[in-house]
Amino acid sequence: MSWALLAYAARRIALAVPTFVATTFLAFSIMHLAPGDPVELYLAGGLASGDAGIRAEKLADAERAKAELRRELGLDQPIPVQYLRWLGGLVAGDLGRSFKDRLPVWDKLVERIPVTIGIDAAALLITYLIAVPLGICSAVWPGSRFDRVSTGVIFALYSVPGFWLAVMLIVFFGGGDYFAWFPPGGIRSLEYSSDWSFATKVADVGHHLALPLFVTTLGSYTELSRYLRSSMLENARQDFVRTARAKGVPEWSVVLKHIGRNSLIPMVVILAGVLPGLISGSVLLESIFSIPGIGQLGYQSVLARDYPVVLALFAASFGLTLLGILVADILLALVDPRVTFGKSGT
């Protein structure tokens, strides 16, 4: 890795710090100014303030109970003061405690992150295994019956709303009114045992995640395959491809090494959105399929006005967005020799 590339990465990281602070402060302010009071929800649920032992039912003055709980939760301070306290805890590795159950936010995230990352990593692998061959075949034989049929099917599938498709799959194949081929939700069987063999565990998890993975990858591989097809068709008309063929380079080498490598550029740029998706999960799909992942946790936290959990998820997602953009820029330089990071370059 050249010094110019390292210097570029250092400049981007330095620029990312104020961007992260400004964006998280804006999100922090909007969340605290939005309608809905977590104190009201906290007391309405019969939960006390935890460590201080304040019980709303034992206090004659409800307003006093709210004021004490607000002070304990740190909501009595101005928004800038609350944000600086939260940012200091974030830098120190302390994400605070959930308003809902007073458990450490970090413990709640650690419990659910592996589920979301595992599902999204599997979905990403399946997406590229389908999208890359499909895009290459459509570009190699443009206008063929395969290209026309695959294009029609892909656009038809891409237009189907994911949440509607998820519900229909449960109704038809998840034990609804027709077939019970797949479980309607969850990630494991009720009979799951740690004594099972590795193959049995993988088969059980795969059986539960078949429908969610199908819905998750549907829009992704259709989009990626079209990007790759368009990019390969454009590069196939370039002069360097004609030169390679005139020199007698084998066709497979022309397609894979000359056309394929240059066609990876837009695929690399798309990677900028992959990392945030690995941590944020899919709110709708995890809720529909009852998957205990980050997306479901975020949805429940928004409903409960659980600021620490929502802010932790937002900070992680936005931080990975910045990291994904940086990684995409670096990979773009590796696959495209025209991109430079010198003073006169990009």
Burial 236-267 (b: 16+ CB within 10 A, else e): beeeebeebeeeeeeeeebbeebbbebbbbeb
Distance CA 151, CA 146 (A): 8
Does the structure show a pLDDT above 70 at 329? yes
Mean pLDDT of 59-72: 69
pTM across the whole model: 0.72
Burial 206-216 (b: 16+ CB within 10 A, else e): eebbebbbbbb
Does the structure show a pLDDT above 80 at 281? no
Query: What is the enclosing helix (H) or strand (E) of 295?
Result: helix 294-303
Distance CA 269, CA 324 (A): 9
Mean pLDDT of 102-114: 86
What pLDDT is attached to residue 194? 80
Does the structure show a pLDDT above 60 at 60? no
Q: How far does CA 326 lie from the centroid of its chain?
A: 17
Mean pLDDT of 165-186: 83
Does the structure show a pLDDT above 50 at 170? yes
pLDDT tens-digit map of 127-164? 888 888 888 888 888 888 888 888 888 888 778 887 88
Does the structure show a pLDDT above 80 at 211? yes
- What mean pLDDT is reported for the chain? 78
Per-position DSSP letters for 230-241, written without gaps between them:
HHHHHHHTSHHH
Q: What's the angle, vertex CA 312, arms to CA 103 and CA 288, rounded to 5?
A: 85
What pLDDT is attached to residue 344? 47
pLDDT tens-digit map of 70-100? 787 777 788 888 899 888 888 888 888 888 7
Sequence-ordered list of residues with C-beta below 8 angstroms from that of 15, at least 6 positions apart, any chain:
none
Q: How far does CA 88 lie from the centroid of its chain?
A: 25
CATH architecture of 105-335: Orthogonal Bundle (1.10)
Does the structure show a pLDDT above 70 at 274? no
pLDDT band at 232 (very low <50, low <70, confident <90, very high): confident
Q: How far does CA 211 lie from the centroid of its chain?
A: 18
10 Å CB burial of residue 44 (0-12, 13-18, 19+) is exposed
pLDDT band at 51 (very low <50, low <70, confident <90, very high): very low
First to last CA, the chain: 16
User: Which pair of tokens denotes residue 47?
Assistant: 């939960």
What pLDDT is attached to residue 48? 43
Question: What 3-state DSSP class applies to 104?
Answer: strand
Does the structure show a pLDDT above 60 at 65? yes
Q: What percentage of the chain exceeds 90 in pLDDT?
A: 1
More confident residue, 73 or 61: 73
| Contacts of the segment 309-313: beta carbons below 8 A, 24+ positions apart | 309/98, 309/99, 309/100, 309/105, 309/108, 309/109, 310/31, 311/24, 311/27, 311/28, 311/31, 311/86, 312/95, 312/96, 312/105, 312/106, 312/109, 313/109, 313/279, 313/280
Q: What percentage of the chain exceeds 70 in pLDDT?
A: 83
pLDDT band at 25 (very low <50, low <70, confident <90, very high): very high
Does the structure show a pLDDT above 50 at 227? yes
- The residue ranges of every structural domain in the chain are 3-91, 105-335
Mean pLDDT of 182-196: 83
Mean pLDDT of 12-18: 85
Per-position DSSP letters for 247-283, written without gaps between them:
TT--HHHIIIIIIHHHHHHHHHHHGGGHHHHHHH--H
